[in-house]
Chains A and B, each alone.
Chain A
Amino acid sequence: MATEYIVRTKDLVKTFRLGDETLRALDGVSVDIKRGEYISIMGPSGSGKSTLFNAIGGLDRPDSGSVFINDVDMAQLDAGELAYLRCHTIGYIFQTFNLIPVMTALENVTLPTIFAGQPTDDGIARGMELLKIVQLDHRMHHKPSELSGGQQQRVAIARALANNPKIVLADEPTGNLDSRTGEEIIALLRRLNKEQGVTIITATHDYKMVDVSDRVIWIRDGKVEKIQNREDIQIDTGSMH
């Protein structure tokens, strides 16, 4: 067993060029995330949380600094190893769901198992099992356009879990949902975290997330402002809802 940290970042820097200006979206971010934690990365929009999300998930390369997943430096991985990591170790959930519109819920959930090289029948069985977990088994043959936002996000969550990832990364998972549906999604993520031991990392500015998080990483202007354990967070955030 390696260290207790499943994700570590060290001095991450990422800049974007906007016309003449250079924007430091990440400005030396170092965080350590333990196995099985539920982490919220909080911050106003434009604070760099999505950039951090992309860096941790291997969806974008930082300009400098490192991301370690299970103590493996992601920058050392070649394209094939990165694809393996995305397929088996990390599950992604997006604000805009990013389901493939022409595929049914079941086909969407099954897709990662196909990329993992699983036999079709096993993949379908796995897909149905996952849709049952997110309570959408009765809608498995519906396309995303026939599902509500909350249902689409639950399909996306099922898809993220298809290959039993150790980490689930969620970028504003409740951002496009109404408040009550958002709560359902948060409860579902928390349940998966508790029951299956999946490490969950969400980038969000939804204060409802704070209640379920083990720790909250506050980001502002590309820097870590503070990291708080849930018990240390003032209860007034709860009243914001």
Chain B
Amino acid sequence: MAVQSPAAQNPDGSKGQPPVDHAGIKRQVNLPWSKAIQIAMNALKIRFWRSLITASGIFLSVAFLCYSFTNLFLQQRPADPELLAAYVHERDSQIWLVVMASLVCLVGIMNAMLMSVSERFREIGTMKCLGALDSLVVRLFMIEALFMGIVSSSVGWLIGLVVAACARWSTLGWQDGVIGIGGKVVGEVFVISVGSGALITCIAALLPAVRASQLPPAAALRTDV
């Protein structure tokens, strides 16, 4: 459509600012945390589906970790010495599973977060052009990652625990299998799952975010992922 009619329109004549302000370059102030949290939450919300994919990468990894740790913690040393060899063998394979799960967790979360931050390098460059401080950029990505890490890891913990409980239920029955897990193991596994999940998420987000925020804006804008 023919939208442009320069002469006819004079929408705001009242905006007569005197062209004085110069040389008075101040230092950009950082936004308060509350505002930063609001922006970060909004950023997660407006790219909801993309966030969900990243989150699923995190919670699936954490679920595997939680499941393997639950099983390891519930291994019981048998009283009967004849069963000891079988127990040791079983325990060793559980330890292997935990190691594998930890690696999956590390690599899976790293991959998800590195991608999700790297694909926003241009956005970081743009934000810096518009006057965002480096520290604000890092802060926004940290808040996003922390929230994402805690929520997804909690979901992962729940899924891992439910799967482990179901598996035990089918072999050991409700009383021994499910009730027998006990609050202590549930608590320990929660701390491990959410702690490591959130930590890895934050580190994996921090690395590219810090790098991007320190680039000159022109370089950040040039990046294509």
Q: Chain A: residues with CB nearer than 8 A to chain B? A: 1-2, 6, 35-36, 54, 57, 59-61, 70-72, 77-81, 83-89, 92, 94, 98-100, 102-103, 111-112, 114-117, 129, 132-133, 135, 159, 162-164, 166, 184, 187-188, 190-191, 195-197
Contact = CB atoms under 8 A, between A and B. Distances in A.
Contacts of B125: 98
Contact of B22 (A2, A54, A80, A184): A2
B46 A103 contact: yes
A184 B4 contact: yes
Contact of A70 (B22, B26, B221): B22
Given A98-B126, A111-B130, A84 B17 contact: no
Given A2-B23, A71-B23, A117 B128 contact: no
A83 B22 CA distance: 15
A92 B130 CA distance: 8
A188 B4 contact: yes
A54 B131 CA distance: 15
Contacts of B216: 54, 59-61
Given A60-B216, A159-B130, A187-B6, A94 B221 contact: yes
A128 B4 CA distance: 18
Given A83-B131, A84-B131, A117-B31, A135 B3 contact: yes
23 contacts: A54-B216, A71-B23, A78-B27, A80-B27, A81-B27, A83-B131, A84-B28, A87-B130, A92-B129, A98-B122, A102-B43, A112-B130, A115-B136, A129-B11, A132-B11, A135-B4, A164-B17, A166-B19, A166-B22, A184-B3, A187-B4, A190-B6, A191-B6
A161 B99 CA distance: 55
Given A159-B130, A184-B4, A77 B25 contact: yes
B31 A115 contact: yes
Contacts of B122: 98
B47 interface: yes
Most buried by A among B4, B29, B43: B4
Interface in B4-59: 4, 6, 9-12, 15, 17, 19-23, 25-29, 31, 35, 39, 43, 46-47
Given A103-B46, A135-B4, A188-B6, A197 B39 contact: no
Most buried by B among A59, A78, A129: A59
Given A83-B28, A114-B35, 20 more contacts: A1-B22, A59-B216, A59-B221, A60-B219, A71-B23, A79-B133, A83-B132, A84-B28, A87-B130, A92-B129, A98-B125, A98-B221, A99-B126, A100-B126, A132-B12, A135-B4, A166-B19, A166-B22, A195-B10, A197-B19
A88 B23 CA distance: 12
Contacts, number: 119
A102 B11 contact: no
Given A133-B12, A135-B9, A184-B3, A100 B123 contact: yes
A86 to B, nearest CB: 5
A70 B130 contact: no
Interface in B209-225: 216-219, 221
Contacts of B22: 1-2, 6, 70-71, 166
Most buried by A among B26, B131, B132: B131
Given A79-B134, A80-B28, A59 B129 contact: yes
A208 to B, nearest CB: 14
Contact of B131 (A70, A72, A88): A88
Most buried by A among B23, B47, B218, B219: B218
Contacts of B136: 115
Most buried by A among B12, B25, B31, B134: B25
B180 to A, nearest CB: 47
A86 B23 contact: no
Contacts of B123: 100
Nearest to B26: A84
B124 to A, nearest CB: 10
A87 B131 CA distance: 4
A84 B25 contact: yes
